[in-house]
Structures are given as structure tokens and as C-alpha cells.
Amino acid sequence: MKASELKTKGADELKKELKELLRAQFSLRMQLSTQQTNKTHEIRKVRRDIARVRTVMATAKLKAGN
């Protein structure tokens, strides 16, 4: 997911997206710990997407404060 796509979403959509990404991250971590997956690169992608969403949320919050 690109940051430009996230910037067009509202606060509720961002929260929903963050919640889905956190669930996906948890699921991937559990699959990795039980050795059910070989897709270790997916964990990195999800982690970066979470960071992108949180960054966009923080930026929007700062803009709303000004």
C-alpha cells in the first residue's frame, strides 16, 4: 500500500486498515512460530504498511491541530 493511497482515506478508514494489518501481522507471526509458512518477506511488508498507516494518521492529527 502506498502512502498516497492512504492520504486519501478518512480517519475511520485508516483505523480499520490499521486493525486489519495488526491482525495480519499477528497471524503471520503465529504461522512463522509454528513453522507453517515460508513467506517471511510478508512480515516485513505488513510491518512497513503498519508504519505507513501510523505515519499518515499522525500527520493528519498534526494538521488538524494547526
pLDDT (0 to 100) of residue 37: 83
pLDDT at 66 over 80: no
In a domain, 5, yes or no: no
pLDDT (0 to 100) of residue 25: 96
In a domain, 3, yes or no: no
Segments forming the whole domain that contains residue 29: 11-65
In a domain, 1, yes or no: no
Q: In total, how many domains does the chain have?
A: 1
In a domain, 2, yes or no: no
For the chain, the three-class secondary structure string (H helix, E strand, C coil) is: CCHHHHHCCCHHHHHHHHHHHHHHHHHHHHHHHCCCCCCHHHHHHHHHHHHHHHHHHHHHHHHHHC
In a domain, 27, yes or no: yes
For residue range 5-59, list pLDDT tens digits in order: 888 888 899 999 999 999 999 999 999 999 998 888 999 999 999 999 999 999 9
pLDDT at 1 over 80: no
Task: Say how many Å lie between the first and final Cα of the chain, rounded.
Answer: 27
In a domain, 59, yes or no: yes
pLDDT (0 to 100) of residue 64: 85
What number of residues does the chain have?
Answer: 66
